[in-house]
Structure formats: C-alpha cells, structure tokens
Structure 1
Amino acid sequence: MTGLATSSLDILHFLRSRGESGDACVLVTLTGIEGSSPRTLGAQMAIAANGDYAGSFSGGCIEAAVVAEALDALAAGAPRLVRFGLGSPYLDIRLPCGGGIDLLFAPQPDPAAIETAIAFLTARKPAALALAPAGLRLAEASAPTGWRGDDFVVTYVPQLRILAFGQGEELTAAATLAAASGAATTAFSPYARDIAALGAAAVDAALLPYRGWRPDIGSDPWTAFLFLFHDRDWEEELIPWALEQSRFYVGALGSRRTHADRKIMLEAAGVAAEAIASLRSPVGLIPSTRDPATLAISVLAEIAEQFAADAFLSLAGPRREPALSAS
C-alpha cells in the first residue's frame, strides 16, 4: 500500500503476489447497497487462505465475518452472494450506518485476468473485470461499475495523477500532501532548494531549467495540472501548454485580479475561450487561504472532488476486448 488507504490497484497486487506464492485467494466485491454504506459500489477486498487480507467494507465491524465467509467459499470452490447488515441472515452482524450490503465472493480469480488489469492500469489505461457465476473474466472498460445483465462489472480507472508546477512552500506542501494521499505526483520547480526538499520527502521532482521548457509527459483524462507560481512569468508557456493536454483539471494560484490578468495573457496567446474557462483560479475549496499547509489541503480536496466526479466520463465504448497485454 502506497497511499493513506488501500487502493483498487493494491488489492489486485495482493491477489497477484499471493497467487505467485501459491496461496489461494478470494476476491470479494460490493455489488449492492440498501440504505447507507461506508463504501461505494464496486469496493473490494482480497482475502488469502491464511486469513490475511487487503481492503475493507467498514471500519472493522464486519471484516472478520467477511474473512470467515471467504474462507468457507474458498473451501466450497464456488462463488456466492451474501447480504451483510440490514436484511442479512446474520442477525449479530450489523453495519454502523444501519444499511445492508451485498457481497459477491469469487474464489480463485483468474490470474491472467488480474495480471492484465494490473498491466492496463500501470500503463494508465482503464480496465474492467466481470464477475459472473462462471468466474472472473476481462470485460470492456466502457461504463462505470455496475450490473451488466447477470454479470457485475468492476471498472478500474488509472490512479489520480497530479503534476504540480511552482515554487516555495506552496509547491512543496501541496506535492508532499498529494504524494502522501496516494496520488501519482510529480513536482516541477525552477529552484534547486525545492527539488532537494521534495526529494528528502520522497516526492518525485524535477527542475524547470528555463522559461518555456515543457516536460515530456503523456497526459490523460486522469491527470491534474496545478500551478503554484508567485512569479507568473513561468505560467506564460506552461499554462497554455497544459490546457492543450488531455486532463480533468487545470488550476492556478492567485487572486481574482491575478486571474483576470492571466485570462488576458491567455487570450493574447491564442488560447481558446473554452479552454480558458476551464482553468480554475482561485484554487481550492477553502476561500482566501493564507498559509501553505491549508492551501495544500484546500487544493487537494478540490482536485479529489473533481476526480471523483469525472473519473469515468472519458470511458469510450464499445472497445475491443483487451488482449492479455498492456501494449
């Protein structure tokens, strides 16, 4: 686990690593919710035959029962759908929110399908796995998670990526927090001091060698660009470039007056009005922040909120069934 909590990719890696070690596993998926639930539809746990697991469905109230059910399903060698909480036959197991959840237990998921899903996500491509009575298989990543006929399809999108450009503590605080949260984070600064500070915090960082330099990155719909410059000369080449990239978010530090001047600069550079309108500024959910730490929290919350809203919007369909390769 690389972030604050277990990610979908962490669960897939758990299944792969335990499978390579010869351990039998069960993939458990949340396929239905009645009332409230601590987790969203498609949340998963991976459980090994020795009782070790990755992921969760609550704050610890039902995990022991889920593990026990998974081991029983593993012994039986067949999938099963079990209700926990409201409406469950297990009267002594309740969710704190009072709701009910349906969990689909899939023993011994196909390792080739797991491997391919990992390969696609590592290559920053969406992937999907269909859970069916016959077992687990690859599916088209053409729609959000949910039921497709008799199959429950979990669609995985690539990890949130944040490319942060700036200088000083605004940059180092935001990039450090983003990396700690589990986002794939790279920071860019013209100051060697910033690069050293970020390196000490184990955050990927690169020096901006000169104005007009642009990194050679392969952007995608799950990437956010964040600009935290006080010296706005650095923005003149970088922001127009970012607005041309595939992304779900572009935001820039500054007051409303600063942003009005920035818009004039972008118009003069020939940036399309629609692209200019998509640029967030002032950034963050907390108005008028005055310290780097609060700004970092505020901006990261805004990016996370937008990612949650937009993560599945770019899924195109129908796509061809993915081959057993990420290439």
Structure 2
Amino acid sequence: MLHDDVADLSHIRPYKVTEARTKPTPVRWSFSDDTEEIFRFAIGELAKGGVALATLTEIRGGAARALGSHVAIAADGRFCGYVSGGCIEAAVASEALDALGEDQDREVRYGQGSPFFDIVLPCGGGITVAIHVLRDAKALSHVLSELGQRRCAGLRYTGSTEQLRMVEPPSKPGFVDGGFETVYRPRTRIVISGQSVEAERVASIADSAGYEVVAYTNREIELPVIDRYTAVVLLHHDLDAEQDVLHAALRSSAFYLGALGSTRTHRNRVDRLDSSGFTKAQTQRIKAPIGVFGPTRDANSLALSILADVAATRLSVYA
C-alpha cells in the first residue's frame, strides 16, 4: 500500500515523443502558365504523393490573371502556374500544402479584403483562390483529351462538397448555382502560308509564344484544318500564290485572317475575290495591310506586328 502523501500515478501513460512533420518549402517548378502543362504536372504528381489545384475564383478590383487561372501544387512543395503576377503564388502553395496535410479543401483571400495584411497585391485589388485537394485525375484528363482534339472543355468545382467534375463548357468562367465553372479552349493554331523570311520569323516567334504553328509552303500537300481557334497568315508577294489558302480561309471559321500587301494590293485582291463570288462580308474579314502597326521595313518588326494583332483578336473573340 502506498503512503498517504504519495500520489498513485500508475494510471498515467508515459508521453511518447514523436517527430514533428516538416512542411516543405514551396518552390516554383515551372514558369509556364499553360493550362495543359499545369494539368499534366498535377496528374503526374497525384500518383506520387498528392497534389492540390488552386483556382482563381474571384477578382476584386484589378488583377493580373483571368478568372479560372490555376496553380498546381505537389506534396513536396513544387508548384507551377499563376493566379497573380507572381507575387502570391508561394503563399498559395503554402496554403495548399496545409490543405494536403489536412486532406481538406479551403478558400483563401488575398489583397483587398484579406486577413493577410502583409500580402499586398501590386494592382491594389483582391482575389479569392479555391484550393482543391485532388482525389483523382479524371476531370483533368478529360480536359487534356478534349483540348488534344481541339474541342472546348468545362470543369465545375463545388467547394461545399469538395468535388471537381466535368461539365459542358460555359461561355465564360464564373459561379453558377453555387459552383465555379471554368472553360478551357484549344491553343491558338496559326497557319502560315508563304516562303519568305517574313514567314520564317512569324513561325519562329509564334512557336516561342506557345502557338501551334503550321507552315503551309507546298501547294501539293493537303491544306491543314482551319477551325475557329485558327489564325491564317498569308505572307506572299504574289496574289496568285495565296489564292488557294485565301479561298479556304474565307470559307472557314478562322478567328483571324490577315494578308501581306499594300492598300493598293488589297484592292486588287478584293476585286479578284468579288469576281470569284465571295461576298463583301467575307472579304471584310481580311486584315490587310496585315499587323497592328506599319509600314514595317524588317521581318522581325512585321512578325511582332502580326502576332500582336493575332493575340489581340483572339482575346476580343474569346475573352
């Protein structure tokens, strides 16, 4: 029997010291903001140890990225993508790592209206980011498959149920009945017709910009598919040489059609098209002289002028 002034501690279990989990340091893996690359990264990391997908779901004031922009964050801290100009992605990744550790989605606000007073967006606005712990890759794989076949895809994220699923592509990103829907469109395909230094420079810069470049230089081969996400650029110094591609482009749903040549050359082009049965509405689709600034006197300036026009037109059509 124990002495009266000695407490019986036999019922208390000894404290077991465990090693605390070390949170990885967020590290940017890629500087790309390409959706397909971000999704491929997420799918690959899901099989290795877990991944979270952060989505820009609200903009208050100004913002550097569009609604629906993504960052994918791996369990080891590596991340790729953007939801801002680059100023808060590491903070988003840190929140995503906490979400992965808890296996629970979360929503975070930055900038205007945010509890993080030490994180200020340079634009002065504010954004909300939804962080989803990815459980399977079906939704992302669906998007990649559709884009690979040059079709639009749509995803819907519901925070209350922590679900990400495929839906019919919405007209634009935003909340619908409590869920955030995002639309994904095929990358810009640019068909370049011409055998010149100008054509080479346009192809080179377009490739660097991430466009799908198709150089059509041989009239003996089949003309590439021209869909509504295709820009057609005609860089010939001879109206006869451009005729086949020009006629095909005018009959297509291409979002952009531009042709090299002076104002006088373009009048001759339109006269020829009128005699071939094309309507005024069709010929008015042609941007000629091509580009947003001019006249240019070197191939590099012309290429930049053309591609700036292509990019601006795509944004105006598919904002």
Q: Same fold (TM over 0.5)?
A: yes
SS in 1 for 2:284: helix
Judge conservation of contact 2:191–2:231 (CA < 8 Å) in 1. Answer: yes
Q: Does 1:143 align with 2:171?
A: yes
SS in 1 for 2:206: helix
SS in 1 for 2:58: strand
CA distance in 2, matches of 1:121, 1:25: 22
Equivalent residue in structure 1 for 2:204, among 152, 171, 176: 176
Mark the CA change 1:287 to 1:4 in structure 2 (over 3 Å): closer, same or farther: farther
CA distance in 1, matches of 2:282, 2:221: 18
Per the alignment, residue 14 of structure 1 pairs with 41
TM-score by length of structure 2 reads 0.86
Match runs of 1:72-221 below 5 Å: 72-133=98-159, 134=161, 135-189=163-217, 208=218, 210=219, 213=220, 215-221=222-228
Q: Does 1:277 align with 2:284?
A: yes
Per the alignment, residue 18 of structure 2 pairs with none
Q: Does 1:235 align with 2:242?
A: yes
CA distance in 2, matches of 1:223, 1:30: 27
For 1:268-298, what per-residue CA distance to the aligned partner results, in whole angstroms no more than 9, with x for missing partners?
1112221111111111111211111000000
Per the alignment, residue 194 of structure 1 pairs with none
Per the alignment, residue 317 of structure 1 pairs with none
Judge conservation of contact 2:193–2:242 (CA < 8 Å) in 1. Answer: no
Equivalent residue in structure 2 for 1:32, among 58, 75, 84: 58
CA distance in 2, matches of 1:60, 1:288: 36
CA shift for structure 1 position 35: 1.2
CA shift for structure 1 position 78: 2.1
CA shift for structure 1 position 109: 4.8
Per the alignment, residue 268 of structure 1 pairs with 275
Identity %: 36
Per the alignment, residue 12 of structure 2 pairs with none
Bigger-Rg structure (1/2): 2
Report the residue type matching 2:263 in the other structure: R
Aligned alpha-carbon RMSD (Å): 1.6
Judge conservation of contact 1:127–1:141 (CA < 8 Å) in 2. Answer: yes
CA shift for structure 1 position 4: 8.2
CA distance in 2, matches of 1:310, 1:44: 22
Report the residue type matching 1:303 in the other structure: V
CA distance in 2, matches of 1:235, 1:4: 38
For 1:69-126, what per-residue CA distance to the aligned partner results, in whole angstroms no more than 9, with x for missing partners?
0011112222221101111111111111111100000111531111111100011000
Moved more, 278-287 or 54-63: 54-63
CA shift for structure 1 position 214: 6.1
Structure ranking higher on relative contact order (CA contacts 8 Å, 6+ apart): 1
SS in 2 for 1:103: strand
Counting matched residue pairs gives: 288
CA shift for structure 1 position 167: 1.9
TM-score by length of structure 1 reads 0.84
Which ranges in structure 1 are unaligned for 5 or more consecutive residues?
190-207, 313-327
Judge conservation of contact 2:88–2:119 (CA < 8 Å) in 1. Answer: yes
Report the residue type matching 2:211 in the other structure: A
